[in-house]
Structure 1
């Protein structure tokens, strides 16, 4: 009896069980123990985020792109190496605060309903004064109450069980420009602060990524030239970099993009890897005084014909001078 199988499309991955009779004895051939874990939802790309916004009625076609760009400009999200949108530490803090204290405002149903009301106002179906009054009066009252209840310190600091080794005061986790760090609560009398060893995440949100480990291995044991503290590997939306572990007291960042090749134009600068809207390129470290650039990675060798720097190519290397043949 086929039943629903008459209209159910069979997948190539499915195995149809053979016909068996009631109470028929079957021989056990093999027991396979397999463990599976639930995969987290995939991060949004620009396209999938727009689809989700359309699904929940958030925004309109004219506001989709500006909304995404605004979120990125305000450092609430950044694109990972797969061009997916990943939330920043600041975004997680802001989200927790808003969900806890303004749950009705950050509910997507509120945004969708407001969009509908605005459309009705544009069509002449509703009066804007009543819509705004119904929203703003309770919102303003709640906002004023939260201003009295909350402080910036409560929102941006996390308590820990660590004690400051210099003065004995409790240590808290604070949010800095490059992420979270430990700081003494006795500031400014005590300015002890240190990097969080587990605070570095890659752009997909996974701690200690392979990319970061391989990068850090190249600088193992190096000290900060300004304060002598160990250098630690961090990662940003532009890739991994080495910074002083004594941040925020010391803000030294090691230039890891240098090639060691002197600039052939000015002689004083170094050819370093840079980034533009068109992608990566190589230029003089003395920019803007020297504007020498290359669109290929220099090998350090010079062309035997014209003396220009040689750059890497698919076939090995080539002259960076387009006029040289």
Structure 2
């Protein structure tokens, strides 16, 4: 019979915090495991165990980057597929989604009155609507915005939820009459 305790007594190579030279320890967070400084909260150093790498799916040789002239590529990243420059990290050009709504149908943000409400998708695939003037304006809605005004508080936007209209102001939220 072999002595298994000898296997566990071997010293592991301990990584040290580059900021304070204390040992790093395995911790768990909402995005999974990571290495953190054992001197926390005095030292806030963390190191991801899994890097979120971007993989090039296909290089678009005929499409030059408008910023640096290098070829563009279809890439697969942390939040899905996108088109970006092959000269990254020297060039940070990324093609953003074009708004599918015509300019006439875009709804003005009721909070800042400068931005427009745009549909977005979070990292879990859930759709939400937010002001395109973010981060200056942080107005968000979980339900689809509809043009209109609240009959109760005069808020300048309604939301469509479960086949009915409601005031988009979270403090009001009154059910609105559906137009004929």
Q: Which TM class, normalised by the smaller chain length?
A: 0.3 to 0.5
Structure 2 length as normaliser, TM-score? 0.44
Q: Comparing both structures, which one devotes a greater share of its residues to strand?
A: 2
Structure 1 length as normaliser, TM-score? 0.28
Higher relative contact order (CA 8 A, sep 6+): 2
**Who wins on radius of gyration, i.e. which is larger?**
1
